[in-house]
A and B are shown apart, each in its own frame.
Chain A
Amino acid sequence: MRILVVEDDTDLNRQLVTALEEAGYVVDSAADGEDGHFLGDTEPYDAVVLDLGLPSLDGLSVLENWRRDGRTMPVLILTARDRWSDKVAGIDAGADDYVAKPFHMEEVLARVRALVRRAAGHASNELTCGPVRLDLRAGRVTVDGTPVKLTSHEYRLLSYLLHHQGKVISRTELTEHLYDQDFDRDSNTVEVFVGRLRKKIGSDLIETVRGLGYRLGAAGDD
C-alpha cells in the first residue's frame, strides 16, 4: 500500500512517514502544496495524508485540483484550523476524513487504515482469503490460525492482493503500489516476492494470469 504524506513541518512530516512505514506502508512525502499536488496527480496512491496549511498551494486547493482532475484516492486531511466550518469545507472539497491537530499518531494510522480498507470495499479490519487471515490493526498474518512471519515487502504484497482479491493486478500496478517513486520499476523483484509469498502462505492462493498479472483468490471470493 502506497501513501503520500503532504506536510510542510519537517519534523511532523518525518514522524508521519516513519509511523506509516512502520505500519507497513510505502510512503512518499512532499513538503509543499505544489510538490504534493504533482505527486498525487502523477503517482497512484492508496491514500493521502494532506495538511491544509501548506506553503505555495494550500491543501484545500490541492485537494480540489485532484478531484477536478478525476483523482479518487482517499484523502485524510490534517488541520490545525479545527472549526466545523473548516472541516466541512475540507470534506466538501473531497476529503474523506479529517484529523485535528494536535493528534496522536495512532489516530492517524487508524484513519488511514480505515480509508484504505473502505476504498477497497472492505468493512472489517480483518481481511481473509481461504486459510489466510490478515489483521490490519495488529499487522499480523496467520494461515489456518498459525502466525506467519513476513518481511515488510512480503507483507505489503499480501496486503495489496488481499485488499484487491479477486481482481487481476498487473506487475506494474504492484510495483507502483509497493515501492516508492525512486524504485527501479524495470527490475523483476515483484516475481521474487510473489515466489517467496507463495512458499509461506500456500502456492495455490496467488494465481498467475498469463500476460496480465496476478490474482489472489477467485473473483468475488472475499
Chain B
Amino acid sequence: MTTEPMEPVEEKPPRKAQRSLASRLVFVAAVWSTVALALAGVFLVGLYQRASERGFDALLEVHVKALISEMLDTEADPDDPAAAFPIKPPSYQEDPRFSLPLSGWYWTVRRADSPDVLFASQSLVGDPLNVPDIADRDKRADFITGPAGDEVRVLQQRIFIEDTPYIIAIACATAGFWTEIREFARMVAVTLCIAGAGLILAIFLQVRVGLRPLARLRASLTAVRQGQADRIDEDLPAEIVPLAAELNALILSNREIVERARTHVGNLAHGLKTPLSVISNEARASSGPLADKVADQAAIMSTQIQHHLERARMAAQRRVIGVSCDTEPVLDRLIRAMEKIYRDKGIVCGFNHVAPVRFRGESQDLEEMTGNLIDNAYKWAASRVAVTVAPFDDPASNREMLTITVEDDGPGLTPEQRAEAVKRGRRLDETVPGTGLGLSIVADLAALYGGRLELGPSDLGGLRARLTLPALGRS
C-alpha cells in the first residue's frame, strides 16, 4: 500500500501587517493639510508684507510731492537772472525727523545724469545716502542700509523740471516694520496650527466612522471562519455590500464543492462496494483455486478502496471554510448508537463532559474519529467504557484545544501494538470484524486538524485513546 504523507492544517504565523488603512488615510490627509496650511501661511504673510510696503511707499510719496512743491519756486521774478534757475534749494522739514541727525529719515535731490547730490536733508549730516541705480525707471522703492547702519525704505522718483530730469530720493526708517510682519506671521502660524489640529482631528474621526463598516465586515468574517455564523452579514454600506456578497458566494461555493465531493465519494463507495460484496460472497460460496484467488484479490481491493475513499474524503474536508460543532450532542448520539449496537454485551458507558466545548471542524469528522474510538472500546470492553471531554489551553501553540479520552476495561494493547495500531492499514486482531483502518484514520484525521491521537494504558485496565483536537472557545 502506498502511503503519501498528509499535511496537517496548521495555523501559519500571521505575516507582519502593512500599515492600517486608517493610519494611511490619516497620515496622507495630515501631510497634505499641513503642507497646504503652511503654504497658505506663507502666502498670507507675503500679502501682509506687500500691503505694509505699499503703505510705506504711499507715505514716502506724500513726502516726495511735498518736497517737489517746495523745490519749485513759483513766486520767482521771471526777469531775475538768478530766478532762471528752475529750482530752489528746499529746506524740507515737514517731519522734524528730517532735521535730526541720522534719524533714519532722509531725502536727497540730484540730477538724473549725475551722481552728485544737489540738495540733501539736514539729517544726513553730510553723509551719502547710497541708493541703488533707478536706471530708466520713473520710480523705484527698496530697502537699503542707511548712513547710520540701520535699514531704511527708500523711494526714488524721477521728475522733469524744464526738461531736466531730477531724481528725488526719500528714505524713512523701517524700525518696527519687520517686527509687525513677524508678529503677524506668528499670529497666522498659531491660527493655522489650531486650524490644522482641528482638521486632523476631524479627519481622524471621519476615518474612524467611515471605516467602521470594514471592522464589522472583519468581525462577521471571523465569525464565519470560526463557525459561529453561516454567512457574512450584508447589512453594510453600498460600497462594500458587493464584497460581502462575493465572499458569501465564495463560502457557499466552497461548501457546495465539499458537499459535491462527499456525494461523489459516497456514490463511488456505493458503486464499488456493492459489486465487491457480490464478487467476494460468490467466491467464498464456491470452491477451487480460482474462487480462492478471487476471494483473496477481492479482499485486497476492498482494503484499497476503503483506504483511497478515506483519502478522498479527507481531501474534500481540507477545503471547507471554518465550521465548528458542539461536542456533546455528537458524542451523545454516538454513545446511544453504540448502546443499541452492542446491547447484548451489557456495557456501562460513563460520559463525562467536564465543560461545554466546541470542536473547530466538521461534525462528520468528529463523528468519524470518536465513532471509531468508541466503537473499538465497545468492541473490546468487558463491561465498562468511559468517555471524557475536557477543554484546555495549549501553551505550545497558544490555541484552545480539547481532549476526548475513550477508555475501556478490555484486554488493552502492549506498547508495541499501540505504536503499530496508529499506522495505516494495520489490523491487530483478525477475529473481530473491521477493516483495520479505524485507528489510523483517526490519527490521520486528527493530524489534518493539527491534533493528535495517543494510545496508552487505561486505569480501567484496557486501552486509553486520547484524541487532542482544536477547540473553539468555551461555549
Contact = CB atoms under 8 A, between A and B. Distances in A.
Q: Do these two chains really belong together in a complex?
A: yes
- Residue in B281, B340, B341 with the greatest tally of chain A CB atoms within 10 Å: B281
Contacts of B271: 80
B269 to A, nearest CB: 5
A97 B188 CA distance: 90
Contacts of A15: 277-278, 281-282, 285
Interface residues of A, number: 29
A114 B341 CA distance: 11
B263 to A, nearest CB: 10
A12 B274 contact: yes
Interface in B278-300: 278, 280-282, 284-285, 298
Q: Is the interface of B mostly helix, strand, loop or mixed?
A: helix
B103 interface: no
A104 B371 contact: no
Interface string A141-177: 0000000000000000000000000000000000000
Interface string A57-88: 00000000000000000000000111111011
Given A81-B270, A102-B277, A88 B284 contact: no
B368 to A, nearest CB: 5
B433 A107 contact: yes
A96 B340 contact: yes
B284 A105 contact: yes
Contacts of B333: 88, 92
A53 interface: yes
Contacts of B368: 83-85
A123 B367 contact: no
Contact of A101 (B277, B334, B433): B277
A139 to B, nearest CB: 17
A115 B336 CA distance: 17
A11 interface: yes
A107 B274 CA distance: 15
A103 B367 CA distance: 22
Contact of B270 (A80, A105, A118): A80
B110 interface: no
B379 interface: no
Given A9-B278, A84-B334, A91 B340 contact: yes
B337 A88 contact: yes
A125 to B, nearest CB: 10
Contacts of B334: 84, 88
Interface string B337-369: 100110110000000000000000001100110
B273 A80 contact: yes
B280 A102 contact: yes
B335 to A, nearest CB: 10
Nearest to B343: A118
Nearest to B364: A85
A102 B302 contact: yes
B61 to A, nearest CB: 102
A102 B276 CA distance: 6
A165 B340 CA distance: 25
Contacts of B433: 107
A193 B269 CA distance: 46
Nearest to B434: A100
A80 B266 CA distance: 8
Contact of A114 (B298, B302, B344): B344
Contacts of B280: 102, 104
Contacts of B371: 84-85, 87-88
- Closest 8 pairs (CB-CB, A-B): A84-B371, A101-B273, A80-B270, A80-B273, A91-B337, A102-B277, A102-B276, A11-B278
7 contacts: A80-B266, A82-B269, A88-B334, A92-B333, A97-B340, A101-B277, A105-B285
Given A9-B278, A100-B273, A114-B344, 19 more contacts: A11-B282, A12-B281, A53-B274, A80-B266, A80-B271, A81-B266, A84-B372, A85-B364, A85-B368, A91-B336, A91-B340, A92-B336, A97-B340, A97-B341, A101-B274, A102-B280, A102-B302, A118-B343, A118-B344
